[in-house]
Every structure is written in structure tokens, then in C-alpha cells.
Amino acid sequence: MAREAICFVSSNGWDAYGAAVFGFQVAWCNRADQPVERLPGQPAIVVRTLSELAFLWAPGR
């Protein structure tokens, strides 16, 4: 699969930002309401729970 077709999900900010730099679509599950890290790359979406992610990133949305 192409990098752009993959959704990488992590609760670690540095993993999320690194995956975004690599070219993945990224969802950062910021469960602990951590501050945004000053790293290259940006997650496509930031959520607090995986349930929220399922609702926002559902097929056809």
C-alpha cells in the first residue's frame, strides 16, 4: 500500500509526528491532553479516545 493510504495511530506524540514526516496519514490519540510537541510533521487528526477516532475517521466521511 502507498504510505498515504495508511492510517497510523499512536498515543505517543513523537511516534505520530515521525509517522507524519514519513508520509502516513496520522491520528494522534492524545489521551492525557499533552501539549503539542515541537517536531516536524503534523497529525491529520488529534483525538482524546479511540472511540472518537472511529467516529471521525469512518469510511465515507
pTM: 0.76
In the prediction, which pLDDT does 1 show? 86
pLDDT < 70 stretches in the chain: 57-61
In the prediction, which pLDDT does 8 show? 92
Q: How is the chain split into domains, by residue range?
A: 3-56
In the prediction, which pLDDT does 54 show? 80
**For domain 3-56, which architecture applies?**
3-Layer(aba) Sandwich (3.40)
In the prediction, which pLDDT does 57 show? 67
In the prediction, which pLDDT does 9 show? 93
Alpha carbon distance 26, 6 (integer Å): 8
In the prediction, which pLDDT does 60 show? 54
